[in-house]
Amino acid sequence: DTAVSQTPKYLVTQMGNDKSIKCEQNLGHDTMYWYKQDSKKFLKIMFSYNNKELIINETVPNRFSPKSPDKAHLNLHINSLELGDSAVYFCASSLGLAGRGETQYFGPGTRLLVL
Amino acid sequence: AQTVTQSQPEMSVQEAETVTLSCTYDTSESDYYLFWYKQPPSRQMILVIRQEAYKQQNATENRFSVNFQKAAKSFSLKISDSQLGDAAMYFCAFLTSGTYKYIFGTGTRLKVLA
């Protein structure tokens, strides 16, 4: 019973390509997140959706576009991939009560390598 | 802007011993939450413990406990009776009440020596 799942787990691609990472949660949570973890393990929030609405959009290049078809899914599409996009991308979810100190449940991460 | 600082990039502890990981944060808010997350080599981030800023009592979860010093803006994690399975990256995180933006520290890599 995977709570938060991501596909694919590994992604190796060439510069300039477009790729997507999918995330699904079966916890019934209302809020989902995308984080980027760089090579130094620094974890930074990119986006957050609550009930399919964008609520956090950090300073992220326009090449990154999140899409939430329903509240159980939050996908991340990346256009024109660059070397600096290489990182581990984590999806997470939480119940959705704004800032009530909820636990975030993380997916296993997607390691993206851009060559 | 809120910041979270973990000044120890790496720590080592002997199995069965106790280790403390430090975390300091900077905020002008009075209502917030603090967390410690563990990231083992498998990469899966798991919540270890959480603390509500308005509670003076330090949170505990089995072998894990925190020393929360609100005035000093310090939130350290104590791991007692360390086990090999505790080896991981540990991240301190901060959340202002009423927001969704969790802010993570840079992490501390904990090694447990047999």
Task: Count CB pairs under 8 A between chains A and B.
Answer: 61
Which residue would you say has higher pLDDT here, A20 or A1? A20
Mention every residue, 6+ apart, whose C-beta is less than 8 A from residue A71. Answer: A29, A30, A32, A49, A51, A52
Residue B71's pLDDT is 93
Residue B76 pLDDT exceeds 70? yes
Residue A88 and residue B50: Cβ atoms within 8 Å? no
With residue A22 as reference, give the H or E element that holds it: strand A19-25
Strand partners, A73: A24, A70
Residue B98 pLDDT exceeds 90? no
Which two structure tokens, joined as six digits, stand for B70? 């609100």
A108 φ/ψ angles, rounded to the nearest 5 degrees: -75, -5
Residue B89 and residue A41: Cβ atoms within 8 Å? yes
Residues in chain A with CB shorter than 8 Å from the CB of B102 are 33, 45, 104
Residue A97 pLDDT exceeds 80? no
A98 closest CB neighbour out of B35, B50, B100 = B100
Q: What percent of chain B has pLDDT over 90?
A: 79
Residues in chain B with CB shorter than 8 Å from the CB of A44 are 104
Residue B87's pLDDT is 96
Residue A98 pLDDT exceeds 70? no
Residue A100's pLDDT is 78
Please, what is the average pLDDT of chain A? 91
Which residue would you say has higher pLDDT here, A11 or A101? A11
